[in-house]
Structure 1
Amino acid sequence: MQFENGECELTTFALRQDGSCNQVGDPSSVHDYEYHMYSEATRLNKKYSDGSTAPANPSPKAPSPSLIYEMLRFGRPAGETMPSDVKFGHWRKVTTPEATGWINLNQPTIGVYSDADFPQWAGWSLINDDAGATSLCASPTIRRWLDLDGNGHVTHAEAKEALKEKAVVKRLSMAICKFPIEWSKDESTIKARWGWVNQASEALPVPLTADEFDLLKAHIQALGFWEDIHDGELPKADACWHFPPKAFVAHFRKCGWLSTVEMAQCFPRRLLHLQGVKFVLSTTSWDTASARSEKWVAAFNIGTRRYGISVNRLRLIHLLSHVIPETGNLHYVKEINGELREYQPHYGRGLIQLTHLANYKSYGSFRGFADGNSPLKFNGLGWDPDVLIAKDNDGNHNTSNCVDSACFYVSNRTHMLEHMDAGCSKENAILVSKDVNGYVEIQNLNGLDVRLQAVVYLKSIFMDESNESGPTSITFDWRRNSQQEPVLDEHGHVVMVGHPPRPKKKFYRTQHTIHIVMERQQP
């Protein structure tokens, strides 16, 4: 099962006797499935009985929408535990060798794997049958792959022809093989591995001379390092697993799990903030970025994995570009002076600060929080955001739910994941900002100055672009003043509203061009 650009595609493979897997029929695909997974989880939750059935024949207890969401994405609970009294059938349409039909993927006989398992059906092979000590391949398995005529003997010419076959090249490119290490500088090991080049063969009609072999040996010893590594956990030189380099790099690029160092690099060292009508520089040191990332990295990785954000670099760029201004680089998880807002006590909390009663209700319902045991001020909500998300900016917060609520908000906003997947241009960043703040006029988008800078910076971290630090210009429309300004009538007089009268204010739109140095965050 694979998610990509909203699509959910299920492909069936059948295992052959030779250990390879072949695809069965065409994949079963559901258009925009991932983009609507939140609403699907909510819909399925509501299909459970409300408990009004007869006690003698009770209906199964309903899993929370968030638990259903995990089951739909991963095929198993990832962040929550499936209660013993909860039943959930994950029915999916699949193609089998016999027919196309429906299978319940949530049952004990179904094994669940991920890319981290290097599954056989994804094309990976473990080759451990080469007993030779030379650098020549003597694996019976690989020789069978190259044996085009199936006569049990592989000639040099036949092997060369086999390497032109796409299926053979594909299998070899994903073969994880065990054979002696090539980075040893031990003279006896070099002779054992490379001594064959001193003799004529079908693959080497003209062998190396003694002097040429000595030159080769000196070159290998100059590059060798295996004997210089002092670690009792290292395997012996004759017992090492080798990944195909290109496939290894391509495979691990799928991993969106960030280390503390990698996460710290995501917080720009220099940012310009509009204060009044001028842009003022703020800086974040490496020590600060590193210390904060260390506190947040585990929860961030779990949350972004749970909601399918970390599997896509574009999604990480857009999410972090909002986390940076919303939290002041992971410093604030509670809206400053939120108690003074008309929507208090449901002011901003979390990494993308969840605000307003309706959003709190949606999140609480999704997670199954409402239990009625909440303080009086949250009586209409049924759970306590001060405990389950954040009470203040002094450390009284739930790190996991600060991240989770932000990822939830991203996932349930209509078209937001779709807009994230579309790219990370200035126009993409503005559209995603509108997804977060509402589709208001551009001057009313909060933090747009930092968000646009963050997207440009994060592109150099996550995408295959130049990492060089240098001046960059960004031109964009936004508010001309960080504070709202009085509204004037056609005569230039300040418009007064309310009782007692007070000046009516708004943000005025203008165009800015800022010149920034995208300095890498590093020690």
Structure 2
Amino acid sequence: MRGFICLAPSEWDSTNLERRYAKLLQTGEHFEGKKDNYDKFIAFVRQFQFWDKTGLPKGEKVWFFHPLAFIRHFRKCGWLFTEEFKQIYADVRYSKHQRPPPQQLRSTYLLPLNLAIRKFGLSSPTRMAHFLGQGAVESAWLSSMQETSMAGRLDDAGFHGSVKNPASMLPETELGHWYGELPVEADAWYRSKKFNSHGGLISGSYDWKNGNCDPIDAQKFRGRGFKQLTGRSNYADYWIFRGWILSSSFSPNWWTDPAYRNHNRQAMIKIPAEIRSPQDVALPENCIDSGGFYLRFQRPEVARCIDHDQPMPANSITELTKEKEISAAVTYAINGGHMDETSRLAFTRLAKTVLL
């Protein structure tokens, strides 16, 4: 607490005014040879002093918080304020028909976000900027905590989407179960190679990836949460972290089973983790938390990479190059590719300007 709580005369007490500022008249000081200007300064200072009106003893030393030390200390807590959050996740980022509206989204997720930032050691301005910038893309500015699919056509090359699939957009909290739990909800998008309406590759199939093995796993363990946690193995790690399942309830590294490699679920000897309610990741109290968990436990190298970045937006060519390289590395670690790399960098830079 050194320099934080001080024992000193109050600046609002005029009793020791002359003694406090007398050195300003000394050789080499501001008012050397300028007594008239010094007297005007003292008169000006007296206008702000009110200690004689408080009834407190004059000339006494008092304990107080040093204002600058107070501000510097509490800036370290990394607690994001409502207005700061609004500047980063601004209304203009959303469509006019956004439901829930932006204000409600920010109100819902600000506390879980602040708790996760503290819990996972992301409170430095640089780490927070990357966390918020990446999360803006992954969660569509908090508006989608579950990965949506597209309607279109399926062929040997993969699934060619044309429009967003409304069924996949309905919050599972409203649906009452995870999307795909009912046979009528089976969605080929998740178990296929995915292409957008322009023919561009979005991502590969989730089938038999990240520990997925049952026919419905690709859909059951679709991306959810602030960092779009994806795959049965990643869900299992988070479930253990939260104490929702025991590590002894399944076989470690079940994806190394020879039958798994041959995509033969029935012949597998190793037992996969059982996750009964994967949609819980998308709940407000879990979705940001799971993002922090993924960043610090599943991809521990990411924070070290971020720490090489600077807290303010880059200006010089050299700084811009380094900033872009770091953002690209963070993007790849989180997304497994370079999707929306330009947007992620832009949103991270935006967060930096607000958090400084």
Q: Report TM bin, short chain.
A: 0.5 to 0.7
- Give the SS at the match of 1:177: strand
Residue identity (%): 28
Q: Write out aligned runs for 1:86-101 (5 A).
A: none
Higher gyration radius (CA): 1
Structure 1 unmatched ranges of 5 or more: 1-117, 119-123, 125-173, 184-188, 230-234, 272-280, 373-378, 391-396, 464-523
Partner of residue 238, structure 2: 363
- Give the SS at the match of 1:308: coil
Q: 2:125 aligns with which of 298, 304, 313?
A: 313
Partner of residue 154, structure 2: none
Matched, 1:410 2:235: no
The change in CA–CA distance for 1:321 and 1:227 in structure 2 (over 3 A counts) is farther
CA deviation vs aligned residue, 1:285-317 (integer Å, no higher than 9, x gap)? 9x955543222222111111111111x222111
The change in CA–CA distance for 1:222 and 1:284 in structure 2 (over 3 A counts) is farther
CA deviation vs aligned residue, 1:218-273 (integer Å, no higher than 9, x gap)? 301444578999xxxxx9996754445554454334221112222222225656xx
The change in CA–CA distance for 1:328 and 1:227 in structure 2 (over 3 A counts) is farther
Partner of residue 193, structure 1: 16
Q: 1:457 aligns with which of 342, 350, 356?
A: 350
Partner of residue 327, structure 2: 429
Q: Write out aligned runs for 1:183-262 (5 A).
A: 183=12, 189-190=13-14, 192-196=15-19, 215-224=40-49, 240-244=62-66, 247-262=69-84
Instruction: Measure, in 2, the Cα distance between the counterparts of 1:293 and 1:389.
Output: 18
Q: Check the 8 A contact 1:350/1:402 in 2, yes or no.
A: yes
Q: Check the 8 A contact 2:134/2:348 in 1, yes or no.
A: no
Q: Check the 8 A contact 2:125/2:352 in 1, yes or no.
A: no
Partner of residue 176, structure 1: 5
Letter in 1 for 2:16: R
* TM-score, scaled to structure 2: 0.58
Instruction: Measure, in 2, the Cα distance between the counterparts of 1:359 and 1:216.
Output: 66
Instruction: Measure, in 2, the Cα distance between the counterparts of 1:429 and 1:298.
Output: 26
The change in CA–CA distance for 1:244 and 1:291 in structure 2 (over 3 A counts) is same
Structure with the higher fraction of residues in helix conformation: 2
CA deviation vs aligned residue, 1:70-120 (integer Å, no higher than 9, x gap)? xxxxxxxxxxxxxxxxxxxxxxxxxxxxxxxxxxxxxxxxxxxxxxxx3xx
Q: CA deviation at 1:449?
A: 3.6
Instruction: Measure, in 1, the Cα distance between the counterparts of 2:19 and 2:344.
Output: 60
The change in CA–CA distance for 1:176 and 1:224 in structure 2 (over 3 A counts) is same
Matched, 1:263 2:79: no
CA deviation vs aligned residue, 1:343-378 (integer Å, no higher than 9, x gap)? 111112111111111111111122221279xxxxxx
Q: CA deviation at 1:320?
A: 0.7
Structure with the higher fraction of residues in strand conformation: 1
Q: CA deviation at 1:413?
A: 1.2
Instruction: Measure, in 1, the Cα distance between the counterparts of 2:96 and 2:50.
Output: 41
Provide the aligned C-alpha RMSD in A: 4.1
Q: Check the 8 A contact 2:4/2:70 in 1, yes or no.
A: no
Partner of residue 389, structure 1: 281
Instruction: Measure, in 2, the Cα distance between the counterparts of 1:403 and 1:250.
Output: 27
Q: Check the 8 A contact 2:145/2:224 in 1, yes or no.
A: yes
- Give the SS at the match of 1:355: coil
- Give the SS at the match of 1:389: helix
Instruction: Measure, in 1, the Cα distance between the counterparts of 2:101 and 2:324.
Output: 28
The change in CA–CA distance for 1:266 and 1:283 in structure 2 (over 3 A counts) is farther
Letter in 1 for 2:245: A
Q: Which has the higher contact order (CA 8 A, sep 6+)?
A: 2
Instruction: Measure, in 2, the Cα distance between the counterparts of 1:455 and 1:297.
Output: 18
Instruction: Measure, in 2, the Cα distance between the counterparts of 1:284 and 1:360.
Output: 32
Instruction: Measure, in 2, the Cα distance between the counterparts of 1:457 and 1:284.
Output: 24
Structure 2 unmatched ranges of 5 or more: 150-167, 169-178, 180-186, 192-217, 250-271, 311-322
Letter in 1 for 2:324: K
* TM-score, scaled to structure 1: 0.41
Q: Check the 8 A contact 2:136/2:347 in 1, yes or no.
A: yes
The change in CA–CA distance for 1:218 and 1:336 in structure 2 (over 3 A counts) is same
Partner of residue 113, structure 2: 300
Instruction: Measure, in 2, the Cα distance between the counterparts of 1:327 and 1:447.
Output: 12
Aligned residues: 249
Partner of residue 401, structure 1: 286
The change in CA–CA distance for 1:420 and 1:216 in structure 2 (over 3 A counts) is closer
Instruction: Measure, in 2, the Cα distance between the counterparts of 1:385 and 1:318.
Output: 26
Instruction: Measure, in 2, the Cα distance between the counterparts of 1:403 and 1:298.
Output: 10
Instruction: Measure, in 2, the Cα distance between the counterparts of 1:325 and 1:236.
Output: 59
Q: 1:331 aligns with which of 143, 159, 162?
A: 143
